[in-house]
């Protein structure tokens, strides 16, 4: 099936709303699908890899449907393929490079490239962003190896290629990668008048109390709408620590309170979370006070990180924000957190400013 046909079917089924901006990129998506289907295959172990069809770099604001369009393409591609969140992919790359160095390999990027090009023809990334200097210094050689090895790359991003790693340390060493993107990928800006993600949540209750069967069912319904029932575990690596997100899909995460606030995590962990997640579903926030003072402190830090990053928060809690923390040290300071929780329930919260 063509991507165009898959898009039309989703509209007919009521799963999508027709959007001219999204239709404008369907031809590029079908071009990738068709070229992958007809491109020559590698014949033998020592044969030269075929030239990779030109990829696609889709960028635009939150909620424009970039990830959904990439998923439509991914479903129709019949070549060996893989789809990953870019942040998770780079974590995997670093772990493989570390293993290579332990084996005494001088060029640790080469075995990573070889592993990928041996098994893949198509690689799809969600939410490409470069904020870490270690990532910035290796992506050029990594992607050059992928392209030479016959791998087509399609990615989404919230920013144009020229703004990747903007104002980063030693950025002049990174800029050749921007040129490589423009050479080997079609750059398409997706400008939609509709924020489809906000549209899903507009007018929807986002704070559920008390903790009961009804609130769990409401959270389940929102999660189903956000992810279409597709999610998988996701691990953030922050300064040697692992932050587990049990359920993650396309920038949305669903996590129990104690997974984030019952462990010795801090501001750096929550900032890393807010950098990756655009919608956080936080479940089972208990009453807070003397008995769980440390958890309460972490919750305050978490809300601050989400608030500053304008992450959409959907949660279930034992009480309304003003009634969550009534006694014990820090209850007065919690008033600011309660106020932020109230503000974050607004329809416009989470939209870019």
Q: What is the pLDDT of residue 48?
A: 65
Q: Identify the residue with better confidence: 69 or 353.
A: 69
349, part of any domain? no
pLDDT tier at 55 (50, 70, 90 boundaries)?
very high
CATH of the domain at 159: 3.40.50.300
Average pLDDT over residues 219-227: 91
Position 320 scores a pLDDT of 94
Let me know whether 164 and 224 are in one domain.
no
pLDDT of 326 over the 70 cut? yes
Round to whole Å and give the CA distance between 346 and 69: 28
Rounded to two decimals, the pTM is: 0.70
> Would residue 353 count as lying in a domain?
no
pLDDT (0 to 100) of residue 316? 96
How large is the average pLDDT for residues 179-201?
A: 78
Could you give the percent of the chain with pLDDT greater than 70? 92
Bridge partners (DSSP) listed for residue 152: 122
The token duo for 134 is 């270690």
> Does 92 map to a domain?
yes
- pLDDT tier for residue 230 given thresholds of 50, 70 and 90: confident
pLDDT band per the 50, 70, 90 thresholds, residue 200 = low
Rounded to 5°, the CA angle 192-197-200 comes to 120
Domain count along the chain: 2
Structure tokens at 136: 């910035």
Extract long-range pairs of 12-20: CB within 8 Å, 24+ residues apart. Answer: 15/228, 16/65, 16/68, 17/194, 17/196, 17/199, 19/65, 19/192, 19/194, 19/196
Helical H segments across 62-167, by residue range: 66-76, 86-102, 109-119, 133-136, 139-148
Q: How many CA atoms lie within 13 A of 29 on its CB side?
A: 29
CATH number for the domain harbouring residue 244: 3.40.50
Residues 209 and 152 in one domain: no
Q: Is the pLDDT of residue 74 over 90?
A: yes
Query: Could you give the percent of the chain with pLDDT greater than 90?
Result: 59
Please give the residue range of the domain that contains residue 97. Answer: 3-190
Higher per-residue pLDDT: 332 or 149: 149
Cβ neighbors of 330 (< 8 A, separation 6 or more) are 293, 296, 297, 300
Is residue 180 located within the same domain as residue 248? no
Q: What is the pLDDT of residue 353?
A: 41
How far CA 336 is from CA of 260, 283, 322, in Å, comes to 20, 21, 10
**Tens digits of residue pLDDT in 108-145:** 999 999 999 999 999 999 888 887 788 899 999 999 99
**Pick from 101-110, 200-209, 233-242, 280-289: least confident:** 200-209
Q: Which residues pair with 243 in a beta bridge?
A: 236
Q: Which of 159, 190, 221 is the last residue of a domain?
A: 190
- Going by C-alpha positions, the residue among 27, 255, 17, 29 that lies closest to residue 122 is 29
The whole-angstrom separation of Cα 104 and Cα 113 is 17
What pLDDT sits at residue 26? 96
- The label of the residue with tokens 């990573």 reads 112
Clarify whether residues 43 and 111 are in a common domain: yes
Query: What is the tens place of the pLDDT at every residue in 3-49?
Result: 999 999 999 988 888 999 999 999 999 999 999 998 777 655 556 66
Strand arrangement of the beta sheet that strand 232-238 belongs to: 207-208, 312-317, 279-285, 252-256, 241-249, 232-238
For residues 161 and 179, the answer to whether their CB atoms sit within 8 Å is no
Burial of residue 151 (CB within 10 Å: 0-12, 13-18, 19+) is buried
User: Domain check: are 164 and 215 in the same one?
Assistant: no
């Amino acid at each position: 099936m063509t991507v165009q046909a898959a898009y039309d079917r989703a509209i007919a089924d009521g799963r999508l709303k027709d959007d001219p901006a999204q239709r404008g990129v369907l031809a590029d998506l079908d071009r990738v699908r068709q070229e992958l289907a007809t491109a020559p295959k590698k014949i033998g172990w020592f044969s030269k890899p075929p030239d990779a069809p030109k990829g696609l770099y889709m960028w635009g604001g939150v909620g424009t449907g970039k990830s959904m369009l990439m998923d439509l393409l991914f479903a129709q591609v019949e070549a060996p393929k893989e789809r990953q969140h870019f942040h998770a992919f780079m974590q995997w790359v670093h772990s493989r490079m570390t293993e290579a160095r332990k084996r005494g390999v001088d060029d640790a990027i080469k075995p990573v490239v070889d592993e990928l090009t041996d098994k893949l023809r198509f690689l799809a990334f969600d939410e490409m962003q470069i904020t870490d200097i270690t990532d910035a210094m290796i992506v050029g050689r990594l992607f050059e190896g992928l392209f030479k090895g016959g791998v087509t790359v399609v990615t989404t991003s919230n920013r144009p290629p020229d703004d990747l790693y903007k104002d980063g340390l030693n950025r002049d060493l990174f800029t050749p990668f921007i040129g490589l993107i423009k050479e080997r990928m079609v750059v398409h800006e997706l400008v939609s008048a509709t924020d489809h993600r906000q549209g899903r949540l507009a007018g929807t209750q986002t704070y559920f109390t008390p903790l009961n069967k009804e609130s769990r069912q409401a959270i389940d319904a929102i999660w189903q709408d956000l992810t279409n029932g597709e999610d998988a575990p996701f691990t953030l690596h922050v300064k040697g620590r692992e932050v587990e997100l049990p359920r993650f899909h396309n920038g949305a995460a669903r996590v129990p309170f104690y997974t984030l606030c019952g462990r010795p995590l801090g501001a750096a962990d929550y900032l890393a979370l807010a950098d990756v997640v655009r919608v956080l579903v936080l479940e089972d926030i208990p009453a807070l006070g003397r008995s769980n003072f440390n958890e309460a402190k972490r919750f305050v830090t978490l809300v601050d990180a989400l608030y500053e990053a304008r992450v959409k928060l959907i949660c279930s809690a034992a009480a309304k924000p003003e009634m969550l923390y009534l006694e014990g040290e820090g209850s007065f300071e919690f008033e600011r957190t309660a106020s932020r929780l109230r503000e974050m329930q607004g329809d416009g919260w989470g939209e870019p400013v």
